Chains A and B, each alone.
Chain A
Amino acid sequence: MQIHAVRALTAVATGVLASACMTSRIEQERHAATGVADGESLVILARSYHTGNSTEEDFVDCLAKNLSRGRAGFHVYDDDQFLDDFYPWFEPRTEPVSTAQLPDILQTAAVSTALAEAGIRYIVWLEGATDILDGGGGISCAVGAGAIGCFGLTWYENGASYEASVWDLKALRSAGQVSADISGMSMIPAVVVPVPLIAPTQTTACKRLANQLTVFLNGPSATLASP
C-alpha cells in the first residue's frame, strides 16, 4: 500500500514538474522602422486556409486582446469586421500574398478611402497553430460497489508555433516578422481521481508573441507589457 502511495506521489510530482516545464523561443526580424501614431490602428488576420494554414480564431482573438490591453494598448480592428468591411479583398482566395499586391488593392478608391477612415496602419498576418506532437500512457478506471476509481498516467506534448508578419500600409512594405515557438508537456496522472496538469502552450505563445509585437510595433525603446 505504501509503495502505491509513493508511486502515486511520484507520478503527481513528475506531472507538476513536467507541466511547468515549457521551452520557448521568440524571434524577431525587422525590415523597417515602425511606430503607431494617435488614431492609427492595426488588424490581425489569420492566413488563408486555402494555403493549408489553420491558425485558430481563438488565438487571433487572444492576440488582439493582449495587444489592446492597458492604457498603452493599440487600437485593434476586429478581424471579422475587417473581413466584412473590406470584402472581397482579404478573403481566403483573394488575400494578398505579398506587399507588392497592396498598390493594386489600394487603387480601388473605395478600399483606400475605407482604410484611411478606419485608420488602419498595419496588417499583422498570422500563420501557425498549436498541435499535439507526441503522447502516450493510459488510464484505467473501474467501477465498484458505490465507488469509481482510476489509475494510470497519460501524457502528451503540445507545440505552439506562430509567426506574425507585419505589413505597413502607409509605407506599402513589410516591416518584419515576429515568431513564437512554445512546447510543453501535459500530463494526467490518476490515483483514484485523474488530475489534469496542462501545459498552456497556446496561451503562453499568445502572451509572448503579443509582448514581442508590442516592442516591435512601438520601436526599440518600448518596454515589455506585463504578462
Chain B
Amino acid sequence: MSQHLRQPRLRGPRNGIARARASATALATACAVGCAATAPVDATFPTPLVDPLPLKIGVVYGPDLASFTHTEAIPDEREWTVELGEANVALFNRVFSSMFAQVVRVPTPEGGTEPVGGADAGGDPEAAGGTRNGTAPPRVPESSEDSLPPASAAALHGIDAVIEPSVESYEITGPKEPDVGDGFYTVWITYRMSLKSKDGRLIAEWPVRAFGKSIPKFFATDEAVAEATTMAMRDAGAYLALKFASEPRIREWLRETGKLQQEAVEEESGTRQEEP
C-alpha cells in the first residue's frame, strides 16, 4: 500500500492559524508585486494498482515536459504561475513503472543534458531531470522508490518501444470567472503521448485530456489551484494506466509483436472505462 498521498477533494481549508497567516502573508506579498502568485504543485502520486504489461519501455522526458511552467492571468482575479515540470516527471515515473514490466529512462535527443536516473516522486523540486525555467541546474536523486534505472547502451538495445509524453495544453478557470466560473478552480491538461519503436518508427500518438477541480480556499488560493492541477494529473495517470492497451494502434502493435495474446488484449480493452 502506498502512503497517503491524495490531495483533498472539494474540501474547505483544514488549516491552522499558522498556515492562514503564512498564506495571507504570501498573498499580500504577491499582490504587492502585482497580484501574481505561484501554485506549488505537489510531486507525489500513488502507485497504480495494475498488472504490468510484459514490455520493456524506454521513457523520454523532453525539457518541455520536465520544466513545464504555465502562466495565465485569470480575469477578475490574478496572474497565476503553475510549475508542474517536476510533478509531470514524478507522475509518469509512477505510472509507467506500474504499467510496464521494465522501464528505463532515455536521454533526450537535444544534446544529452537530460540526466538519466529518473525523478524523485517525493517532491524534490530539482529531481525532475530538467531545469526550472532554464536557470537551475538539474540534480539526480541518489535513490528513490520510483527513480528509473539508468539506460545503458545494453539496456537501450533490449527495449520494445520508447514512449514520450509532452504537455500539449494547460488551461485554468477561476471560480468567479465571467461566463465560465462555476465556483471552483478548474484545470484541464492535455498530454500528448508518443510511442515509437526502437528504430524510431511512430507506432501511435494520442492525446490524454485530463480534468481536475477544487474548491476555493479563502486564505490558500494557491493550494486550491495546485490541488486542481494535481487532480487533473491524477486523472491523466488513471486514464493512461487503464486505457493504454486499448488504444487501437497500440492494441494492434501488441498483437503484431506477440507481446500480448489476442484474447488478453480484447479483455484488457473490454475492462477499461471509457473516456468521459
Contact = CB atoms under 8 A, between A and B. Distances in A.
B164 to A, nearest CB: 21
Interface in A24-67: 46, 49-50, 54-58
Given A81-B4, A93-B276, A104-B271, A46 B49 contact: no
Contacts, number: 94
Interface stretch (B105-113, B126-134, B235-243): B235-243
B10 A56 contact: yes
A114 B10 contact: no
A80 B234 CA distance: 13
Contacts of B239: 88, 93-94
Given A56-B11, A58-B12, A94-B273, A89 B4 contact: no
Interface in B248-276: 270-271, 273, 275-276
A91 B234 contact: yes
A101 B274 CA distance: 12
B31 interface: no
Given A93-B238, A93-B239, A80 B273 contact: no
A84 B237 CA distance: 12
Contacts of B276: 50, 93
B4 A57 contact: no
A88 B10 contact: no
B275 A93 contact: yes
Interface string B1-38: 11111101111100000000000000000000000000
A94 B6 contact: no
B9 A46 contact: yes
Given A94-B273, A108-B51, A84 B2 contact: yes
Interface string A107-140: 1111100100000000000000000000000000
B46 interface: yes
B101 interface: no
Nearest to A84: B46
Nearest to A52: B182
Contacts of A84: 2-6, 46
Nearest to B4: A81
Contact of B50 (A54, A56, A88, A92): A88
Given A84-B46, A86-B49, A46 B10 contact: yes
Interface string B214-255: 010000000000000001001101110110000000000000
A81 B275 CA distance: 24
B49 A85 contact: yes
B50 A85 contact: no
B10 A55 contact: yes
A108 B8 CA distance: 27
Given A46-B10, A58-B12, A80-B8, A87 B51 contact: no
Interface string B134-173: 0000000000000000000000000000000000000000
Given A56-B11, A87-B48, A104-B271, A114 B238 contact: no
Contacts of A11: none
Contacts of A104: 270-271
Nearest to A101: B273
Contacts of B46: 83-85, 87
A87 B47 contact: yes
A141 to B, nearest CB: 21
A93 B235 contact: yes
A166 B5 CA distance: 26
A54 to B, nearest CB: 6
B11 A110 contact: no
A109 B51 contact: yes
A63 to B, nearest CB: 14
A55 B270 CA distance: 30
B96 interface: no
A144 B47 CA distance: 62
Interface string B176-188: 0000000010000
Contacts of B215: 56
Given A91-B235, A93-B235, A93-B238, A110 B271 contact: no
B239 to A, nearest CB: 6
B211 interface: yes
22 contacts: A46-B9, A49-B213, A54-B184, A55-B10, A56-B11, A58-B12, A80-B9, A83-B46, A84-B3, A84-B5, A85-B1, A85-B49, A88-B49, A88-B239, A88-B241, A93-B211, A93-B239, A94-B239, A94-B273, A104-B271, A108-B50, A110-B49
Given A57-B10, A84-B3, A87-B234, 12 more contacts: A54-B184, A58-B12, A80-B4, A80-B8, A83-B6, A85-B49, A87-B46, A88-B239, A89-B242, A92-B231, A94-B242, A110-B51
